[in-house]
Amino acid sequence: MCGIVGYVGVSSNPVEVVIEGLKQLEYRGYDSAGFAVLRNSKVELYKEVGRISNLEEKIKGIDFSDIEGIAIGHTRWATHGGITVPNTHPHISNNGKIVLVHNGVIENYADLKELLLRKGYTFYSQTDTEVIANLIEEHMKEGNSLEDAVILSVQELSGTFGVVLFYADEPDKIIAIRKGSPIVIGIGDNENIVASDINAIVKHTKNVVYLDDGEIAIVKVDGIKTISFSGKNIKKDVFVIDWEVEEMDKKGYPHYMLKEIFEQPTAIENCIRGRLLEDEGYVKLGGISKLEGIIHKVKKFTFIGCGTAYHAGMIGKYLMENIGWMPAEVDFASEFRYRNPIVSQRDVVVAISQSGETMDTLEALREAKRKGAITMGIINVVGSTIARETGMGIYIHAGVEIGVASTKAFTNMLVALVMLSVMVGRKKKLGIFEGREIVSSLKELPELVEYTLQKTNKVTQELAKKFSNYRNFIYLGRGYNYPVALEGALKLKEISYIHAEGYSAGEMKHGPIALIDENMPVVVIATKHSVYDKVVSNIQEVKARHGKVIAIVNENDTTVSKIADYTIEVPYVIEPLSPIINVIPLQLFAYYVASTKGLDVDKPRNLAKSVTVE
């Protein structure tokens, strides 16, 4: 998916900021990169297909010391037109003065292009983006100011767009536009940085302003003005990001994913800090105090999310029913938004998202709001669109997650869901002793996760070597650990490209058992909880058909060790927290399989970290 970085200021080298920023967005996936600067009132464009390093190679030896304090850059993921230099952004208007980068899709670009062709414009690319630059030029030709020409142009565009532009004759500003595609502005010291993602900004400043849909920002070195698409002034809040710059470093790990797996103890500590009330067996969740006050009126919780966040929501349903004594549902955000869900004003819809920008989750949330539901978020990125639109929520404080495969955000989502369920349960039937047991287990969790990492790191690595050439896997779990089986399978398939199916262990005999033979590895979560005996029977069924069983068991388990081919031991924890422990060896196993195969673990093919398109 594309990435945008823009710079205006006097403190840094604009080219360095833009290139560095684009590198921070590399994880999003792209196939060409480019940037534009201004020298002696003339726009200079530099573009290259392939990696950013190709672009760096191309500009080696070029002196940028006398350029103006302005630059915009882009990493393109081809949609309209092939991967070529002319199609690479930035795109420039025919008069050579308006230059811009764009994320999203202009749906009516063909009509607009036709219109502009008739007016004598020439097009040099096959993109949908080039029309925007020429449309603005056309409106300026009619006598409008740059600002007014931008306003007139956005009113004619349909589709989604995050656009950043500058105009050669007004080099003191860049203009950012948002409709459906995220734009965030970092407020620095004598410099401001505009980007599609805060990763490109945090090195320079932690103070950020998020544009909302239908907003335009005129960003100068000494301030920002925000207006609506109809030209009305809008006052914006400044959010302070709680990420540390050091987090952007791999810290000696070969991949961000492995680093993030090992960061889970610290991430969980950050998530529970100041939130556990041990004596009362209760939790303090400041971001949902409004909900706490009206919880007796609530009839149902619905969790929505995509991918890994959806798996967290599935576990949220179990937690809400068992601990919260509350009816709960879970749905893929992409299904929820189109299935006409029955949601009342006494229902809470919980949007779960690491990035806070996933389009399907955002649209499902908006649908829930239209239906009058109470909404809240379980989100990692502070101030992200979903966090702002939910109105209340629990930040999971996992820190920056760069590896495309989500790991520490998943476990922190689960911690937040446990705390939410305790809050709800204690207002209902959950007694103080049960509350205390959960809360004190949460307190011990960082240490237990650290222990699990140390205990399972080597064995998962060895198993990965044995199994990296298999083409198919089945993952089985029951109860709380059924979604963990789905998550384990998702981790494996997305980074190793091995086909893996997650199944409820009890469902196996209703179909998938036909797949079992001596070539089918079956990963089973078999820790000692309520459904342990049932899972043991399911393992027997697999063994009877010569499947190869890798079982996740508790320390000192003797039953499963006798029947499974391989076991991975994890420490015991109370059942509601067991997914947080049990998923760790599955994350490690997926990581080691992919790295054994020499794959690009942090940037798996065809995937993007935040999916801001439908």
Q: Which residues are annotated as catalytic?
A: 2, 609
137 binds ligand F6R (CB under 6 A): no
Beta bridge partners of 99: 92, 166
**34, 69, 287, 307: residue in contact with ligand F6R (rule CB under 6 A):** 307
Beta bridge partners of 276: 283
Is 93 or 355 the residue whose CB approaches ligand F6R more closely? 355
Contact 166/99 with Cβ under 8 angstroms? yes
Q: How far is the CB of 460 from ligand F6R (least distance, A)?
A: 17
Q: How far is the CB of 311 from ligand F6R (least distance, A)?
A: 8
Is 354 or 460 the residue whose CB approaches ligand F6R more closely? 354
Is 6 or 477 the residue whose CB approaches ligand F6R more closely? 477
Kindly write down the DSSP assignment for every residue of 191-223, as one continuous string.
Answer: EEEEESSGGGTTTT-SEEEEPPTTEEEEEETTE
Q: How far is the CB of 227 from ligand F6R (least distance, A)?
A: 29
Q: How far is the CB of 182 from ligand F6R (least distance, A)?
A: 11
Stretch near ligand F6R under the rule CB under 6 A, chosen from 38-46, 279-287, 300-308, 512-520: 300-308
Is 398 or 423 the residue whose CB approaches ligand F6R more closely? 398
For residue 139, give both structure tokens: 């409106």
How many whole angstroms separate alpha carbon 269 and alpha carbon 272? Answer: 5
**18, 257, 309, 396: residue in contact with ligand F6R (rule CB under 6 A):** 309
Q: How far is the CB of 484 from ligand F6R (least distance, A)?
A: 14
**49, 405, 500, 536: residue in contact with ligand F6R (rule CB under 6 A):** 405
How many whole angstroms separate alpha carbon 570 and alpha carbon 474? Answer: 20
610 binds ligand F6R (CB under 6 A): yes
494 binds ligand F6R (CB under 6 A): yes
353 binds ligand F6R (CB under 6 A): yes
Q: What is the residue whose two structure tokens read 């604009």?
A: 14
Q: How far is the CB of 310 from ligand F6R (least distance, A)?
A: 7
127 binds ligand F6R (CB under 6 A): no
264 binds ligand F6R (CB under 6 A): no
Q: How far is the CB of 502 from ligand F6R (least distance, A)?
A: 13
**15, 217, 500, 611: residue in contact with ligand F6R (rule CB under 6 A):** 611
**93, 385, 406, 538: residue in contact with ligand F6R (rule CB under 6 A):** 406
Distance (Å) of CA 135 to CA 110, 117, 158, 176, 428: 13, 11, 13, 16, 59
Kindly write down the DSSP assignment for every residue of 389-437, as one continuous string.
Answer: HHSSEEE-------SSS--HHHHHHHHHHHHHHHHHHHTTT--HHHHHH
Binding mask 380-399 for ligand F6R (x = CB under 6 A): --------------------
How far is C-alpha 274 from the geometric centre of its chain's CA atoms? 25
Cβ-proximal residues to 390 (8 Å cutoff; 6+ apart), any chain: 351, 365, 375, 376, 377, 379
257 binds ligand F6R (CB under 6 A): no
Least Cα distance to 93 among 141, 154, 59 occurs for 141
334 binds ligand F6R (CB under 6 A): no
Q: Could you tell me the end-to-end alpha-carbon distance of the chain, in angstroms, rounded to an integer?
A: 12
> Alpha-carbon Rg of the chain, whole angstroms?
26
For residue 226, give both structure tokens: 């925000």
Contacts from 367-371 at CB under 8 Å and sequence distance 24+?
367/336, 367/337, 367/341, 368/302, 368/304, 368/336, 368/341, 368/343, 371/341, 371/343, 371/344
Q: How far is the CB of 309 from ligand F6R (least distance, A)?
A: 4
Residue whose Cβ sits closest to ligand F6R: 307
361 binds ligand F6R (CB under 6 A): yes
For residue 305, give both structure tokens: 């999310």
Q: How far is the CB of 518 from ligand F6R (least distance, A)?
A: 30
**127, 358, 481, 496: residue in contact with ligand F6R (rule CB under 6 A):** 358
Cβ-proximal residues to 274 (8 Å cutoff; 6+ apart), any chain: 284
Stretch near ligand F6R under the rule CB under 6 A, chosen from 10-18, 304-312, 541-549, 575-583: 304-312
554 binds ligand F6R (CB under 6 A): no
**93, 355, 412, 612: residue in contact with ligand F6R (rule CB under 6 A):** 355
SS3 29: coil
The length of the chain is 614
Is 88 or 612 the residue whose CB approaches ligand F6R more closely? 612
Stretch near ligand F6R under the rule CB under 6 A, chosen from 123-131, 254-262, 322-330, 351-359: 351-359
Is 357 or 575 the residue whose CB approaches ligand F6R more closely? 357
Stretch near ligand F6R under the rule CB under 6 A, chosen from 51-59, 225-233, 306-314, 538-546: 306-314
187 binds ligand F6R (CB under 6 A): no
Q: State the number of binding residues for ligand F6R (CB under 6 A).
A: 15
HSE of 612, CA atoms in CB hemisphere, 13 A: 30
Is 387 or 560 the residue whose CB approaches ligand F6R more closely? 387
Contact 601/591 with Cβ under 8 angstroms? yes
354 binds ligand F6R (CB under 6 A): yes
306 binds ligand F6R (CB under 6 A): yes
How far is C-alpha 509 from the geometric centre of its chain's CA atoms? 35
How many whole angstroms separate alpha carbon 15 and alpha carbon 52? Answer: 13
How many whole angstroms separate alpha carbon 89 and alpha carbon 57? Answer: 18
- Give the interface with ligand F6R as residue ranges (CB under 6 A): 306-309, 353-355, 358, 361, 405-406, 490, 494, 610-611
